[in-house]
Structure formats: C-alpha cells, structure tokens
C-alpha cells in the first residue's frame, strides 16, 4: 500500500499562554495533547467554537509561537523560517496597508520573499489572472470592497507559489457571492496540487469543500471525520456539546 505523505503533523502538542498581572501569573492551556495529521493534496477543515485553539494551532504551524510540549512537522520538517517560506497564510484579522495599491503590496511581499524583478512580475501576472483582479491591482486597498480585499489577501499568500496554504477563516465578512467565489478559488488551488488547511465557522461551506474535518474542543481533537453531505453539522454538535 502506498504511504500517504503528510503536509502537517502534530504529535501530542501542548501550548500554555502565561500572562503576568503585577505579582501574579495566570496560565491558559490553549492546546493539550493535540494530535493531528493533514495529508498532502487534501483540503482539511479545522472546526471548533471560539477559544477552542484553532488559531493557536495555525500559529504553531507557522512558527510564530512555539509549543510547550510535543512535536510538529511542516512539509516533513520541523518548523523553521526556511520551511515556512513554502507556506502561504491568510490571516483572519489582517492588516493590508490601506494606503498601498495591491500592486505595491505584491511587489513588497515579492521582495521579502526573495523574488527578483522578473519573477515578481511573473507572479503578479499569474495571480491577477487567477483571481481576476483586473484594474483593482492599481487601486488603493483601503478603497476596495471587503470581497476584493479578501481576494487581495489570498493573492498575497500566493506570491511565492507555496506548497501548503493555511487559511484562517477565509470567508470572514464575505457576502454569499463572495463566499461562492472564494470557495471556487480554493477548489482550483487544490486542483493544482496545493494542500489547504482552513479554519471556519461555516459548517455548510466546509461540507462543500473539505475532504476531511477535525473538530477541536477545549484544546484537543475530539474527532477527525471524512466530510459527508448533511452529516458534518450533526457530528460537530455531538462533539462540542
């Protein structure tokens, strides 16, 4: 039997946030015994109530924070700046420099990604065509609609042509048309071979797009299930209530 390669691996990961208040330290256990595998080439949706630990898991995979216990592998290696350079990230609460145009933002991020001028131009042409940005690329981001800003946000994650995409609430603030368009972009990226981990509160949308879903409760994976039409909401409610 052919071995399935893993894009992300969490093994018994624990993460505690510590905060100092004058002479007292408080601790919040965000993840405890968190174990999860995400296969290369799949769309995987991580579901959970607010505070369940979804964003903490994402930040650990991106090497933005570090675990207190357990092991993590990203694309087969321990998280590091070199490995994370092969990952694209869409944040739930981004700052997009509203006074810049999308072209200026993409050029800046291309430089930070180590792309020379010809590769930056090629990347901009590729993502503008893929996301149908058109003339919006030369419009100030702060003047764009929420739907267009979300497209710009996805575009910036694609500048360096990553192998793995981590999308934290990619449908946030979108109207039904914007949600449908975002879903189509995610499906096309997956068809091109990219592995996608997304977090979401929209269970019905997750059913339309994910191959598997992990349900997170109080810092642990309650269950991992194949996504079958009409069953995800039932499984989710049974797991978290």
Q: What is the DSSP string of 161-210?
A: --SEEEEESTTTT--HHHHHHHHHHHHHHHHTT-EEEEE-S-HHHHHHH-
User: Sorting pLDDT into bands at 50, 70 and 90, what band is 20?
Assistant: confident
Overall pTM surpassing 0.85 (yes/no): yes
The rounded Cα 108 to chain-centroid distance in angstroms is: 21
What percent of the chain is modeled with pLDDT above 90?
Answer: 61
Phi, psi (deg, nearest 5) at residue 187: -65, -40
Closest C-alpha among 174, 166, 214, 158 to residue 55: 166
Mind listing the pLDDT tens digit for each residue in 70-96? 999 999 999 999 999 999 999 887 778
CA atoms of 55 and 96, how far apart (whole Å)? 19
- Give yes or no for residue 130 having a pLDDT over 50: yes
* Mean pLDDT over each residue of the chain, to the nearest integer: 90
Kindly list the strands in the beta sheet with 164-168, ordered across the sheet, starting from the edge strand earlier in the chain: 87-90, 164-168, 195-199, 43-48, 212-217, 220-226
Q: In the chain, what is the straight-line distance between the N-terminal and C-terminal CA atoms, in Å?
A: 38
pLDDT at 2: 45
CA 125/CA 123 separation, integer angstroms: 5
């Amino acid at each position: 039997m052919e071995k399935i390669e893993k894009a992300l691996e969490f093994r018994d990961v624990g993460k505690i946030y510590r905060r100092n208040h004058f002479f007292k330290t408080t601790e919040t256990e965000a993840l405890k015994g968190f174990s999860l595998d995400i296969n290369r080439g799949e769309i995987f949706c991580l579901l959970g109530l607010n505070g369940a630990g979804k964003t903490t898991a994402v930040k650990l995979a991106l090497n933005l924070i570090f675990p207190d216990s357990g092991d993590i592998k990203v694309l087969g290696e321990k998280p590091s700046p070199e490995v994370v350079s092969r990952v694209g990230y869409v944040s739930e609460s981004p700052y997009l420099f509203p006074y810049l145009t999308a072209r200026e933002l993409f050029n800046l991020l291309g430089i930070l990604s180590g792309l020379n001028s010809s590769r930056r131009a090629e990347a901009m042409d590729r993502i503008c065509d893929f996301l149908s940005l058109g003339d919006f690329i030369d419009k100030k981001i702060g003047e764009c609609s929420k739907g267009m800003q979300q497209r710009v946000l996805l575009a910036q994650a694609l500048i360096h042509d990553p192998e793995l995409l981590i999308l934290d609430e990619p449908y946030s603030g979108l109207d039904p048309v914007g949600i449908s368009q975002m879903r189509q972009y995610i499906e096309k990226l997956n068809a091109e071979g990219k592995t996608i981990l997304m977090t979401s509160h929209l269970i019905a949308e997750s059913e339309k797009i994910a191959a598997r879903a992990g349900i997170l409760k109080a810092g642990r994976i309650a269950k991992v299930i194949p996504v079958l039409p009409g069953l995800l909401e039932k499984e989710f409610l049974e797991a978290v209530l």
